[in-house]
């Protein structure tokens, strides 16, 4: 099957469609949003019909040019028209369509009084079916007769293009023939001069040469069907029943292929690919795993898959797509593999804008667009982490964010299938683009961004489930304590026995925290260990957290819990300790940010800070806390 | 195997989507003459949407034999064993 797999599912899609007409002022914007979901042909038709009931013309003030597309063909194409219109909608482009009377495209082109001319198309799609194109071709033909038949068909198509250009004066998109015919000879089908299958293969090759001569663009459904499998595109039974060559199920993808062309013609293809790093460009977390620990390149299938994704991104950049990086990391850690890792395919010089810090990604993506001086609507952002994807989708709906699994082998496929970077040609300028950006752009420090983060966090419905250390969690607790480097205040490493000792100590507590949200279970993401001192201070011996959940208010929520547990042990103050390492610079000011008072700073940069429990007011957050 | 009740429920969603309604009540006897707009085009949509949903393919004979919703439910049930 073939579907819009790179688009996200939208659980309340049907309810939103039903409510589309209720808010007359935002029908168009809401329809564009609904078109951005993964919908099949039935829902595509439903969206098209619902929108057209509310609006019969493009809304005023839309930045894109409306398109009047004449779809001309020799068989039934009616079922594909809603998908073409919705594909325009997905790109914010209003498309009106016209379909010729069955089989009458040549007559209508020739007759200035025809309905086709009255429609005044601004673009033409010529979609000839493979039965029509091979009419009369038979295995009884010898090579000369078959060649003559091929010339006749190609010249007829050339004449149609010229007639359309002369009479309508608009750009032409020609659909390649769908290879629906079955072989009669086998592997060496090309030797059967009159084979209809071989005829279509030759025709499609010839069409591309001729399209170059005539300035026509090709709709490559033959290539697409080769990747999806012909059966995803063509149903012989449906052809016999209704003379529909492209099946309904393939409609949304067919429409999207046309929509890409329409957008590319208006210069509205995406221009820049923004890459997350950890678990997107390499396997693992560079800040924790280090250069030796990340998975990349030969040695593991996963490492090879990441390298293959990098290769695809580099190939895109070599034909003119700009590459950028947006990563939650210390900048020095993030850059190191680009400069020193032997298996990195992408190098620092391939990246035109490199942003690695701990701010939220929506704000950072805004900064990337600003630095590169391109519109946010020309950015594609790829990230393995569903939290980041959804944050960016919500904050920056104009940025394309492909839905991907955690399998890097699927990343290049998602980008290719989505066709974000649809181009009509490759110029010398395209091939040099990256070096232009590289030369011009300095990496400015990022400006503070204005993202409505609270609204997003509230909508996440986060739940933090805490438990004292226990045997069940032992393995994960020890793993986290020994693996976390970045968000780790003291970097004290514990063995199994050390953790078990904390469980048994009445003057100490160990907390394991699990975070859930509406997108799923993030697992145990933070650990804290507190020890009561003789002077009734509670020393926070260990506090660490997975960087995946940064910026989600887990820190103040954890402090609330620590304060509560400390109070139960009879503590009067909390004492927080920071021991600097090469990797934990991000938490240097952790305690003062949470309202602690700095107490002392050691010669190596370590520090202590205190919090008086009597006057401590628990922070209010969007996280609901329960004991698990 | 999908039970007839499960098939009924999923088909109701498909019919609502195809006819842009939210109040379709499917009965075994329901057929094209009972529903406004149920033409051969919509018939194909219902069939293709069913094929997509249950990941099945109807044969030409099976399609020719469909007269009512009950036929469709039984045919789907027989193909999802």
CATH number at residue B31: 1.10.1200.10
If pLDDT is split at 50, 70 and 90, which confidence band does A44 have?
A: very high
Q: Which pLDDT does position A602 carry in this prediction? A: 83
- Ranges of each domain in chain A: 64-265, 272-451, 460-627
What is the average pLDDT across A105-131? 95
- Residue A67 has a CB neighbour count (10 Å cut-off) of 23
Whole-number pLDDT of residue B48: 94
Mean of pLDDT values over A330-337: 95
Q: Are residues A42 and B14, on separate chains, in Cβ contact within 8 Å?
A: yes
- Average pLDDT in the A54-75 region? 91
Of B20, B44, B51, the CB nearest to A46: B20
For A42, the closest of B18, B57, B59 (CB atoms) is B18
Which residue in A has a C-alpha nearest to residue B46's C-alpha? A42
Pairing verdict, β A573-578 and A520-532: unpaired
Rounded Cα–Cα distance for residues A60 and A53 (Å): 17
DSSP structure class, residue B43? H
Nearest Cα neighbor of A549 from A524, A570, A579 is A524
Listed range (A200-209, A350-359, A548-557) with the worst mean pLDDT: A548-557
Using DSSP's 3-state secondary structure scheme, residue A504 falls into helix
Give, in degrees to the nearest 5, the angle at Cα A124 between A121 and A128. 140
pLDDT band at B7 (very low <50, low <70, confident <90, very high): very high
Chain A residues closer than 8 Å to B51 by CB? 249
Any A CB within 8 A of B72 CB? no
Q: Quote the minimal CA–CA distance from B8 to chain A in Å.
A: 18
Interface contacts A/B by beta carbons within 8 Å: 47
- Please determine, for residue A588, whether its predicted confidence score (pLDDT) is greater than 50: yes
Share of chain A above pLDDT 70, in %: 96
Structure confidence at residue A102 (pLDDT): 84
Q: Specify whether the CB–CB gap between A135 and A200 falls below 8 A.
A: no
Number of neighbours of residue A365 by Cβ within 10 angstroms: 27
Instruction: Nearest chain A residue to B55 by CA: give it.
Output: A1
Q: What is the pLDDT of residues A214-236, one digit of tens each?
A: 999 999 999 999 999 999 999 99
- Is there a contact between A275 and A103 (Cβ–Cβ < 8 Å)? no
Q: Does B39 touch chain A (CB under 8 A)?
A: no
Classified as helix, coil or strand, A257 is: helix
Q: Quick one: pLDDT at residue A451?
A: 59
The dihedral formed by the CA atoms of A313, A319, A321 and A326, expressed in degrees to the nearest 10 = 30
How far does B50 lie from chain A, in Å, by closest CA? 11
**A178 — phi, psi (to 5°)?**
-80, 125
Residues 6+ apart with CB under 8 A from A222: A176, A177, A178, A179, A204
Determine which helix (DSSP H) or strand (DSSP E) holds A293, and give its type and residue range.
helix A286-293
User: What long-range pairs does A406-413 form, CB within 8 A, spacing at least 24?
Assistant: A406/A279, A407/A305, A408/A280, A408/A283, A408/A302, A408/A305, A408/A306, A408/A308, A408/A309, A408/A384, A409/A305, A409/A308, A411/A280, A411/A309, A411/A312, A411/A382, A412/A308, A412/A309, A412/A312, A412/A313
User: A247 - beta bridge partners?
Assistant: none
Phi, psi of A512 (to 5 degrees): -115, 130
For chain B, the first-to-last Cα distance in angstroms comes to: 5
Distance from CA of A505 to the nearest CA of B (A): 55
From the list A494, A367, A505, the residue with the least C-alpha distance to A441 is: A367
Chain B's closest residue to A45, CA to CA, is B18
> In chain A, what percentage of residues exceed pLDDT 90?
78
Give the strands of the sheet with A624-627, arranged side by side: A597-601, A607-612, A573-578, A537-545, A520-532, A508-517, A463-468, A624-627
Give the mean pLDDT of A282-288.
Answer: 95
User: Which residue in the set A49, A240, A242 is minimally distant from B60, CB to CB?
Assistant: A240
CB A401 within 8 A of CB A392: yes
Identical fold for domains A64-265 and A272-451, yes or no, is yes
Residue A413 has pLDDT above 90, yes or no: yes
Contact A30, A16 (CB under 8 A): yes
Contact by Cβ (8 Å): A482, A417: no
CA pair distance A489, A466, nearest whole angstrom? 20
d(CA A608, CA A620): 25
Host domain of residue B64: 4-79
Partner residue opposite B45 with nearest CB, options A240, A241, A248: A248
Closest CA to A214 of A262, A265, A171, A151: A171
Mean pLDDT of A321-336: 96
Superfamily (CATH H level) for A460-627: Gcn5-related N-acetyltransferase (GNAT) (3.40.630.30)
Least confident range of A174-183, A600-609, B61-70: A600-609
Strand, coil or helix: A455: helix
Strand ranges inside A446-566, DSSP E: 463-468, 508-517, 520-532, 537-545
Q: Which CATH number fits domain A64-265: 3.30.390.30, 3.40.50.300, 1.10.540.10, 3.40.50.1110?
A: 3.40.50.1110
A137 pLDDT higher than 50: yes
In CATH, what number does A272-451 get?
Answer: 3.40.50.1000
3-state secondary structure of A134: coil
- The predicted complex's ipTM stands at 0.93
* Average pLDDT value for residue range A325-344: 94
Q: Which of A313, A316, A319, A443 is nearest to A370 (CA)?
A: A443
What pLDDT does residue A628 have? 85
What's CA A424's distance to the chain center, in Å?
Answer: 22
Q: Which residues of chain B does A237 touch, with a Cβ-Cβ cutoff of 8 Å?
A: 57-60, 63
**According to the model, what pLDDT value does residue A473 have?**
83
B38 interface with A at CB cutoff 8 Å:
no
Number of structural domains chain B divides into: 1
pLDDT digits (tens, 9 = 90+) for A567-582: 999 999 999 999 999 8
The 10s digit of each residue's pLDDT in A431-484 is 666 655 554 443 333 333 345 777 778 878 899 999 999 988 888 888 889 888
Q: Chain-centre distance of CA A69, in angstroms?
A: 29
β-strands A520-532, A172-175: how paired? unpaired
Per-chain mean pLDDT for chain A: 92
Confidence of residue A523 (pLDDT cuts 50, 70, 90): confident
Chain A residue numbers touching B57 (CB-CB < 8 A):
235, 237
Name the closest residue on chain B to residue A2, using Cα atoms.
B52
Q: Chain centroid to CA A118: how far? A: 41
Q: Indicate whether B63 pLDDT > 70.
A: yes
Do the beta carbons of residue A552 and residue A515 sit within 8 Å? Answer: yes
The Cα A304–Cα A480 span in angstroms is 27
- Tell me how close the Cα of B28 comes to any Cα of chain A, in angstroms: 22
């Amino acid at each position: 099957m073939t579907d819009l797999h790179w688009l996200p599912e939208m659980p309340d899609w049907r309810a939103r469609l039903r409510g589309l007409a209720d808010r007359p002022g935002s029908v168009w914007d809401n329809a564009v949003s609904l078109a951005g979901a993964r919908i099949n042909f039935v829902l595509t038709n439903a969206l098209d019909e619902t929108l057209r009931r509310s609006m019969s013309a493009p809304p005023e003030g839309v930045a894109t040019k409306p398109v009047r597309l004449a779809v001309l063909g020799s068989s039934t194409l009616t079922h594909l028209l809603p998908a073409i219109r919705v594909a325009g909608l997905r790109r914010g482009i209003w498309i009106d369509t016209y379909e010729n009377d069955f089989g009458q495209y040549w007559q209508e082109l020739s007759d200035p009084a025809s309905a086709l001319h009255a429609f005044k198309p601004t673009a033409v799609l010529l979609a000839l079916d493979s039965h029509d194109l091979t009419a009369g071709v038979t295995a009884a033909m010898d090579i000369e007769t078959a060649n003559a038949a091929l010339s006749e068909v190609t010249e007829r198509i050339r004449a149609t293009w010229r007639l359309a250009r002369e009479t309508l004066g608009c750009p032409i998109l020609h659909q390649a023939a769908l290879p629906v015919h079955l072989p009669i000879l086998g592997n060496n089908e090309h030797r059967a001069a009159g084979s209809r299958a071989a005829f279509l293969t030759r025709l499609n090759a010839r069409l591309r040469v001729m399209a170059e001569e005539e300035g026509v663009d090709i709709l490559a459904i033959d290539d697409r069907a080769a990747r999806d499998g012909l059966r995803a595109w063509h149903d012989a039974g449906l052809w016999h029943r209704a003379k529909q060559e492209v099946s309904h199920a393939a409609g949304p993808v067919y429409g999207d292929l046309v929509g890409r062309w329409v957008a590319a013609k208006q210069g509205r293809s995406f221009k820049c690919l923004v890459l997350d790093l950890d678990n997107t460009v390499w396997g693992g977390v560079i800040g924790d795993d280090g250069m030796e620990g990340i998975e990349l390149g030969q040695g593991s299938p996963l490492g090879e898959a990441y390298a293959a994704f990098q290769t695809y991104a580099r190939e895109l950049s070599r034909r003119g797509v700009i590459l950028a990086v947006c990563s939650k990391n210390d900048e020095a850690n993030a850059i190191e593999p680009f400069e020193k890792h032997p298996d990195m395919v992408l190098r620092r010089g391939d990246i035109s804008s490199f942003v690695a810090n701990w701010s939220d990604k929506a704000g950072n993506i805004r900064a990337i667009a600003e630095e590169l001086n391109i519109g946010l609507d020309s950015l594609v952002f790829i990230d393995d982490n569903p939290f980041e994807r959804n944050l960016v989708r919500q904050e920056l709906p104009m940025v394309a964010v492909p839905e991907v699994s955690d399998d890097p082998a699927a990343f290049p496929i998602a980008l290719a299938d989505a066709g974000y970077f649809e181009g009509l040609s490759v110029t010398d300028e395209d091939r040099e683009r990256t070096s232009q950006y590289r030369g011009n752009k300095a990496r400015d420090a990022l400006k503070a961004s204005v993202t409505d983060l609270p609204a997003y966090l509230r909508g996440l419905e986060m739940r933090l489930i805490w438990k004292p250390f226990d045997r069940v969690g032992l393995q994960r607790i020890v793993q986290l304590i020994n693996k976390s480097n970045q968000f780790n205040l003291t970097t004290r490493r514990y063995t199994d026995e050390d953790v078990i000792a904390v469980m048994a100590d009445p003057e100490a507590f160990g907390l394991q925290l699990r975070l859930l949200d509406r997108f799923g279970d993030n697992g145990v993401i933070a650990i804290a260990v507190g020890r009561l001192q003789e002077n009734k201070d509670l020393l926070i011996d260990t506090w660490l957290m997975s960087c995946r959940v940064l910026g989600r208010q887990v820190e103040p929520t954890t402090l609330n819990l620590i304060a509560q547990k400390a109070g139960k042990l009879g503590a009067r103050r909390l004492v927080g300790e920071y021991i600097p390492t090469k990797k934990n610079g991000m938490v240097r000011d952790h305690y003062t940010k949470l309202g602690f008072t700095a107490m002392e700073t050691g010669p190596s940069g370590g520090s202590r800070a205190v919090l008086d429990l009597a006057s401590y007011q628990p922070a209010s957050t969007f996280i609901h806390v329960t004991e698990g | 195997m999908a039970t007839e009740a499960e098939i009924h429920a999923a088909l109701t969603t498909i019919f609502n989507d195809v006819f842009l309604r939210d109040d379709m009540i499917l009965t075994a006897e329901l057929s094209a003459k009972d529903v406004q707009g149920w033409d051969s085009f919509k018939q194909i949509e219902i069939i293709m949407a069913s094929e997509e949903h249950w990941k099945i393919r109807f044969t030409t004979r099976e399609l020719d034999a469909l007269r009512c919703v009950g036929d469709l439910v039984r045919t789907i049930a027989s193909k999802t064993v």
